[in-house]
Amino acid sequence: MFFVRTASVRDAEKVQKLLHTTWHATYDSIHGPEKVDEICDKWHSLDAIKSKMEGRFSEYVVADNGTEIGGVGFAIAPDKAGIAQLSQLYVLPELQGQGIGTDLLGEIEQSFLDVKAMRIEVDPKNEQAIAFYKAHGYAQIGETSDCGGGGDNMPALIFEKKFDEQWSL
Domain locations in the chain?
A: 3-167
Q: At residue 166, does pLDDT exceed 80?
A: no
Q: The CATH number of 3-167 is which of 3.40.190.10, 3.40.630.30, 3.40.50.300, 3.30.70.100? A: 3.40.630.30
Percentage above 70 pLDDT, the chain: 93
At residue 37, does pLDDT exceed 90?
A: yes
pLDDT band at 152, cuts 50/70/90? low
pTM greater than 0.95 (yes/no): no
| Band of pLDDT at residue 169, cut at 50, 70 and 90 | very low
Q: Is 152 helix (H, G, I), strand (E, B) or coil?
A: coil
Give the separation between CA 125 and CA 110, rounded to whole angstroms.
28
Residue 56: the pLDDT is: 85
Average pLDDT over residues 135-140: 97
pLDDT band at 150 (very low <50, low <70, confident <90, very high): low
Residue 92 CA from chain centroid, whole number: 13
CA distances for 72 relative to 21, 44, 68, 143, angstroms: 12, 12, 12, 24
Q: Specify the pLDDT at position 79.
A: 81
Q: Tell me how far apart the terminal alpha carbons of the chain are, to the nearest angstrom.
A: 32
Q: Where are the alpha helices (DSSP H) in 32-111?
A: 33-43, 46-54, 100-110
d(CA 40, CA 33): 10
